[in-house]
Structure 1
Amino acid sequence: MIFIDADACPKDLKKIIEEQALAYDVSYLFIASLKHFSADADQKVWTFIDEGKEAVDMYILNHVKSGDMVITQDIGLASLVLPKGVYALSTRGKQYQEDTIDTSLSFRYLHQMERKKGRYGGGPKKLSKDDLKQFSDRLIKYLAHLAGNE
C-alpha cells in the first residue's frame, strides 16, 4: 500500500503515482486535510482528514504498516514511519533512510532557525524534470520490488 501525504503533493507526482500504482496493481491512498477537499476526488483513493497541524501525519502513522510506502515532503513524518519498516520517499525522489534521517532532521531544524531570522524566504523550489524522473524511477523500483520483478 502507498500512502501519500497529499496536502503539498504536486499534481505531476499525483499523476505518476496513479499511473504506476495501477500498472503494478498496488493500492494507494491520497490523504489530505479538508481544506483540500474536492467533490471530484475519487473517494476510493482519497481520504480527507479534519484540519489540524499534524492530522494527516497522524492518520498515516496510525494506518501504515511494515512493507508499505509513504510519499511525503515531511522529514518528521518520514522519521516516524521508518522504524515501522516503511519505505519513505520524498516528492523529489529521495529515499529517506534510518541511518541518515537524524542528519536530515538536524538540517531541517537549522533551516527553520534561519527562516525565523529572515534569511530564507518562500517555499521549496518547483520540481524539475530531473526531480520528476528521479521520483518516477524510485517509485518504479519499489513497485517492481513489491511485484517480485527486481
Structure 2
Amino acid sequence: MRFVIDGDGSPVKNEVIALGEAYNIPVVIVTSIDHYTNKIYPEFIEFIYVDKGSDSADYRIVKEVEDDDVIITQDYGLASLLLTKSVRVFHHSGQEYTTQTIDTLLNQRFIGSQMRKAGKKTKGPKVFTQKDKDVFIEKMIKIINYEKQT
C-alpha cells in the first residue's frame, strides 16, 4: 500500500505525510513542476514532477498507480479513470469515490461548467477547516487498519 496524492492544491499533503510516517507507508506526491521544492523530505516520500498542463499530473498518476494504492484527489475526472484499477480513491474530505457515485459527481461538475459558460455564478468549494482535516485523518486511519487486517 502507498498513498498517492494529486499534489496540486491538495490541502491534506502534510496530514498524509504524517500518516505515512506514523504507519510506515510510502507517500508519492505527483505535482506540477510549478510546485518544485528544494525542501528535504524523508526517504518514504517521493515527488514526481510533471510539466505544466491541466491534465499532466492526472495522466502520470494513472500511469504510476499500483494495486492496493490509496489515491487522494479532488478531481472527479481523475477519480473516474482510477476506479477501473485496483485502487481506492478518496477526496480530501475523506469521501471515497465509487462506481456508484462517480457518475453523479461528474454530472454535477458538467452542469456547473455549463452554468458558468452561460454567465451564471456557482458556489465554489467551502473553506477547508481543521475539523475537515481531522475527519480525513480518521477515515485514512480506518483504511490503514483495514488494509493491515487483510
Relative to the length of structure 2, the TM-score reads 0.89
Q: Which residue of 2 aligns with 1:57?
A: 58
- Alpha-carbon spacing, 1:7–1:98, altered in 2? closer, same or farther (3 Å): same
Instruction: Please identify, of 46-55 and 69-78, the stretch whose mean Cα deviation from structure 2 is larger.
Output: 46-55
Return the offset for 1:41: 5.1
CA distance in 2, matches of 1:92, 1:115: 24
Q: Assess if the C-alpha contact under 8 Å between 1:32 and 1:56 holds in 2.
A: yes
1:127-147 deviations in whole A, cap 9, x for unaligned?
Answer: 023321221111111111222
Return the offset for 1:94: 1.1
Instruction: Please identify, of 71-80 and 123-132, the stretch whose mean Cα deviation from structure 2 is larger.
Output: 123-132
In the TM superposition, 1:1-150 aligns within 5 A as: 1-10=2-11, 13-40=12-39, 42=41, 44-120=45-121, 123-148=124-149
Instruction: Please identify, of 34-43 and 13-22, the stretch whose mean Cα deviation from structure 2 is larger.
Output: 34-43
Return the offset for 1:46: 1.6
CA distance in 2, matches of 1:27, 1:147: 14
1:57-79 deviations in whole A, cap 9, x for unaligned?
Answer: 01100011221111001000000
CA distance in 2, matches of 1:83, 1:75: 13
Root-mean-square deviation (CA), in Å?
A: 1.9
Letter in 2 for 1:98: T
Return the offset for 1:112: 1.1
Q: Assess if the C-alpha contact under 8 Å between 1:30 and 1:45 holds in 2.
A: yes
Relative to the length of structure 1, the TM-score reads 0.89
Return the offset for 1:123: 4.3
Instruction: Point out where structure 1 has 5 or more consecutive residues left out of the alignment.
Output: none
- Alpha-carbon spacing, 1:134–1:120, altered in 2? closer, same or farther (3 Å): farther
Instruction: Point out where structure 2 has 5 or more consecutive residues left out of the alignment.
Output: none
SS in 1 for 2:83: helix
CA distance in 2, matches of 1:45, 1:120: 39
Normalized per residue, the structure richer in helix is: 1
CA distance in 1, matches of 2:16, 2:91: 13
Identity %: 31
SS in 2 for 1:76: helix
Return the offset for 1:51: 1.3
